[in-house]
Chain A
């Protein structure tokens, strides 16, 4: 299954090659042009020379991960997060490190050795290590070098209730949507941009939009679902199973009001369940794309994911399908309009 292969592939910001190779093979049958740029963004283009609106669908390939920044004399690896990682979720998770995919475990001082005051507060990143079993610095250095990336090892699995669990759903879920949408028959130029380095500051998307010069861009994302115990209802950004979320504002962007209205109206017309994203926190590639050159119409459509930026996120398959249907119908609407003009 595509989403399983995508989420089990590894791609830290700036090191997206494994994900990119996988996507390239998937999109080649459907795109007239497939190319990459200097930052590593991957473009799959349909009808590059056709008239009509130039439509970009964008999803980022990178995921949050850990970078090895030190190896101590006993062979333990020190690390730092790349992108937003909550240190409290890390202890005892399994990882693979570097090109050789050396297995390891995130270790910390065991509870029976902690002083009472230490038990009161969670471990910081500085207090954790990755244990690859090496007994000395020399032994560890044969397997791992500084700058290597550690990834979570979570396998994709189907859960009860039509839900799935995986790592890196942010934003392989968007990549999977874009790959599927590229299979739609359209006559206008459709550019799927698989971007790099979103998690460290929306870096790939800006240069991608600069090259593409789209008339309109739809950013496909995995976003935080906070319908979990202990969260006040009014503080939940999205809920699982309530359909894809449409953004009205976040830290990076206020999407084009008319486009947002069109998407809500289209969803109502086609009977697709959607929700307005009920938080203004977070940012997406849309922030950079909107401000490219003389400006671009953008909207953001997200699949809600619980426990995002953690080793295991949970997503509802119906929400994914809803996002696919919504964008598919929107592309069809653009096709109708292009035909009329």
Chain B
């Protein structure tokens, strides 16, 4: 699974421009599902048919990642940019970005800027060009870039950019490969534009009208020095969401996930996320409403280029998806 996580997290996929990631997932999953299609917003929908008495579950993980978009190129070839999604300013100075064509640049601050006055419009990107003309050969205004960083294997723990949410994609890919005959029909939806407002999941769910929606996404942890208090710990198992700012998990869905963990000896922990949301927020408000929940992968340093997960939590999430695929949902949803 590590090889797939490396491939996924090193791919290029800022919100709206996820085709490289979607193409990669398509290759990894196509021999293991019954149907495969993409929609107008670029969502990849992979279907695995269940038995007649089963229900229809939408499993969503988003393919996009945060990044920047170029807004201006000056006469000396320096670029200005705006953020795509929730980009924290403290991680930017000295960091690198990568464009779709492979061009790499470094972010730095204007000379006179004090650290505490740092703002996005005081930052620029240097791609090594000496003039506007030279810069424009590589990059145009309006072009999207991601934060450039390689995958690192620390043993049980892994660091990479865009674990949010390629790790969720990896969980779904692994689950799709391992499930042979699911009881429930499974829609593995690799969504687009989550980081800019849960956009892909909304139109995908509208088309699918699932009986149950489950998002697979990262959540924060409270286990670092002086961390904000939060009862989620890296390595302590799959996190079952109670609520975040986009969703109050449907009580029966949440209870079902807990029961499945108990019955299958899957390590789990309950998650209350005070700020943030997932695709489940968009799914549960679709049409007349969809019972929904989220299986979260505990992740440290979310929205930095070095997001850390524990492989044992990832395995637990895969096991929970496998259990949900075979669960008897009659009377629950």
Partners in one complex: yes
Q: Establish whether residues A297 and B40, one from each chain, have CB atoms under 8 Å apart when the complex forms.
A: yes
Within 8 A of B (CB), among A6-64: none
Contact A278 to B71, CB < 8 A, known contacts A254-B196, A294-B40: yes
Interface residue from A235, A248, A290, A294 paired with B142 (Cβ < 8 Å):
A248
Q: Establish whether residues B72 and A248, one from each chain, have CB atoms under 8 Å apart when the complex forms.
A: no
The number of chain A residues touching the other chain, given as a range, is 20 to 34
Cα distance, A144 to B84, chains bound together (Å): 46
Interface residue? B298 (CB, 8 A): no
Stretch at the interface among B20-28, B50-58, B202-210: B202-210
Task: Name A275's closest neighbour in chain B (CB-CB).
Answer: B141
Contact A235 to B121, CB < 8 A, known contacts A291-B199, A294-B203: yes
Within the complex, what minimum Cβ distance (angstroms) separates B44 from chain A?
Answer: 13
Interface residue? A177 (CB, 8 A): no
Residues of B within 8 A of A297 (CB): 40
Within 8 A of A (CB), among B83-105: 83-84
Q: Establish whether residues A257 and B71, one from each chain, have CB atoms under 8 Å apart when the complex forms.
A: no
Task: Name A252's closest neighbour in chain B (CB-CB).
Answer: B197
Interface residue? B193 (CB, 8 A): yes
Q: Establish whether residues A254 and B82, one from each chain, have CB atoms under 8 Å apart when the complex forms.
A: no
Q: Establish whether residues A293 and B206, one from each chain, have CB atoms under 8 Å apart when the complex forms.
A: yes
Question: Besides A254-B193, A293-B206, A295-B39, 12 other CB < 8 A contacts?
Answer: A233-B72, A235-B121, A248-B142, A249-B16, A249-B69, A256-B40, A276-B141, A277-B142, A278-B71, A280-B82, A290-B41, A295-B41
- 16 pairs from A and B in contact (CB 8 Å cutoff): A233-B74, A234-B72, A234-B80, A236-B72, A248-B143, A248-B144, A254-B16, A276-B140, A277-B142, A278-B142, A280-B84, A293-B207, A294-B204, A294-B207, A295-B41, A295-B203
Cα distance, A236 to B74, chains bound together (Å): 12
Interface residue? A66 (CB, 8 A): no
Within the complex, what minimum Cβ distance (angstroms) separates A300 from chain B?
Answer: 12
Cα distance, A292 to B199, chains bound together (Å): 10
Task: Name A235's closest neighbour in chain B (CB-CB).
Answer: B121
Chain A interface mostly helix, strand, loop or mixed?
loop
Q: Establish whether residues B199 and A276, one from each chain, have CB atoms under 8 Å apart when the complex forms.
A: no
Residues of B within 8 A of A246 (CB): 142
Within 8 A of B (CB), among A230-268: 232-236, 246, 248-249, 254, 256-257, 260
Contact A234 to B121, CB < 8 A, known contacts A278-B71, A278-B72: yes
Within the complex, what minimum Cβ distance (angstroms) separates B262 from chain A?
Answer: 37
Within the complex, what minimum Cβ distance (angstroms) separates A245 from chain B?
Answer: 10
Interface residue? B108 (CB, 8 A): no
Q: Establish whether residues B41 and A248, one from each chain, have CB atoms under 8 Å apart when the complex forms.
A: no
Interface residue? B15 (CB, 8 A): yes
Residues of B within 8 A of A276 (CB): 140-142
Within 8 A of B (CB), among A276-291: 276-280, 290-291
Interface residue? A296 (CB, 8 A): yes
Residues of B within 8 A of A233 (CB): 72, 74
Interface residue? B301 (CB, 8 A): no
Cα distance, A295 to B140, chains bound together (Å): 27
Within the complex, what minimum Cβ distance (angstroms) separates A43 from chain B?
Answer: 21
Contact A278 to B199, CB < 8 A, known contacts A234-B74, A234-B80, A295-B39: no
Residues of B within 8 A of A295 (CB): 39-41, 203
Residues of B within 8 A of A256 (CB): 40
Within the complex, what minimum Cβ distance (angstroms) separates B111 from chain A?
Answer: 15
Residues of B within 8 A of A260 (CB): 142
Q: Establish whether residues B39 and A294, one from each chain, have CB atoms under 8 Å apart when the complex forms.
A: yes
Q: Establish whether residues A257 and B199, one from each chain, have CB atoms under 8 Å apart when the complex forms.
A: no
Cα distance, A292 to B144, chains bound together (Å): 25
Residues of B within 8 A of A293 (CB): 203, 206-207
